[in-house]
Amino acid sequence: MYKLTAIICVFNEERSLITALRSLRMNKIYHETEIILIDDFSTNVFTRKLLKRIAKFTRAKVLYSIKNEGLSHSRNLGFSNASSPYVVPIDADDILPDGALDDINECFIANPDADFIFGNYQVESHEGLESKLVSCSDICTNGIINSQKLAANWKLLGTSPCKKATWEAIGGYSMKYSYSVQDVDFWIRVMQRGFKGVYTDKCIYIWNRSEKGMNMTFDRIFMTELLNDHQSFYSLILPRRVLVNKIFEGYYPYKQSEILLPFAHENLFQLQFKNLLRVFYFLISHHTKKNA
């Protein structure tokens, strides 16, 4: 039985996928690590050929989505097919530092009650010209993740390793955020369920941050949706009135009556005067357009 499962989500990556796979080899536990690749309906011919070769000539398992469904679907597919109790998600354009799988495995062994492991990570940007080590020591208390500290300073690595049982318990990644903030939503739900995250001071991931990546290009309304869906989490650091107005002001520029008006109605007495005026103006303009 494998001790760890590395799941790599793929969409049109080429050489970076090879680099990601090579980074797994730099671990003593490599041969005891299951490798699953999930292709989210890549359109790149080279990527498709590469995946066929990987499936044919290596021990890695390659799974295919029948259509493009985003990162949530790919991650869920990977987790559901994992045969080990611990899963290490990796994006195909990122890599693991040497020995990261060994460090993760040792941390789980030393902390059998841990539901997930979080550690430091390196951020590479501008094609490797800039590099920064992000320490997560300040979002924990006595080595255990702290919800309030995390809410005030979100720096948890989205691909933090966790037990398959943890993923199962919260129902996996939400398809609602499949093309946007699925990682943040996932980990907030993990935190809200009271699962235990244990900190390791090792660097366990290298994130190759791209200006064209999902984190930089998704529609910002999803951040507002996230605030609305997880008000109890963000209320750890924000008074309810401040949070409600922040959500309203996030929704307002989109002028979506089916979202804006019910939210305003539900939270009418929490809205600041300027936002009450916005509601009044929106109702008038919306009514005028309907009757035009």
**What is the spatial distance between Cα 140 and Cα 156, in angstroms, rounded to a whole number?**
10
Task: Give the CA count within 13 Å in the CB-facing half-sphere of 244.
Answer: 17
**What is the spatial distance between Cα 244 and Cα 239, in angstroms, rounded to a whole number?**
9
Tell whether the model's pLDDT for residue 260 goes beyond 60.
yes
Average pLDDT of the chain to the nearest whole number: 96
pLDDT band at 12 (very low <50, low <70, confident <90, very high): very high
The residues pairing with 200 across neighbouring beta strands, listed in sequence order, are 119
**Residues in contact with 80: Cβ distance below 8 Å, sequence separation at least 6, in sequence order:** 172
Across the range 132-161, mean pLDDT stands at: 98
Strand ranges (DSSP E) for 25-155?
A: 33-39, 61-64, 86-91, 116-125, 130-134, 140-141, 144-145
**Residues in contact with 14: Cβ distance below 8 Å, sequence separation at least 6, in sequence order:** 44, 46, 47, 50
> Based on the number of CB atoms within 10 Å of its own CB, is 197 exposed (0-12), middle (13-18) or buried (19 or more)?
buried
Q: Longest C-alpha distance within the chain, in Å?
A: 70
CA angle 237, 240, 241 (to 5 degrees): 120
Helices and strands (H, E) in the chain, number of each type: 13, 10
Over residues 78-93, the pLDDT tens digits come to 999 999 999 999 999 9
Tell whether the model's pLDDT for residue 291 goes beyond 80.
no
What local confidence, expressed as pLDDT, does residue 292 receive? 60
Over residues 173-226, the pLDDT tens digits come to 999 999 999 999 999 999 999 999 999 999 999 999 876 655 555 788 999 999
What local confidence, expressed as pLDDT, does residue 100 receive? 99
Amino acid identity, position 287: H
What local confidence, expressed as pLDDT, does residue 216 receive? 55
pTM above threshold 0.85: yes
Residue 77 in contact with residue 38, Cβ under 8 Å?
Answer: yes
Percent with pLDDT over 70 in the chain: 96
pLDDT band at 286 (very low <50, low <70, confident <90, very high): confident
Residue 161 in contact with residue 186, Cβ under 8 Å?
Answer: no
Q: Could you tell me where in the chain the CATH 3.90.550.10 domains are found?
A: 4-217
What local confidence, expressed as pLDDT, does residue 217 receive? 58
Across the range 150-176, mean pLDDT stands at: 99
> Based on the number of CB atoms within 10 Å of its own CB, is 166 exposed (0-12), middle (13-18) or buried (19 or more)?
buried
Judged by DSSP in three states, 30 sits in helix
Burial 11-46 (b: 16+ CB within 10 A, else e): bbbbebbeebbebbeebebeeebbbbbbbbbbeeee
User: Which CATH number, 3.40.50.300, 3.30.530.80, 1.10.10.10, 3.90.550.10, labels domain 4-217?
Assistant: 3.90.550.10
Across the range 224-232, mean pLDDT stands at: 98
What is the token pair recorded at 71? 């990162």
Tell whether the model's pLDDT for residue 99 goes beyond 60.
yes
Element (H, E) at 199: strand 197-208
Judged by DSSP in three states, 136 sits in coil
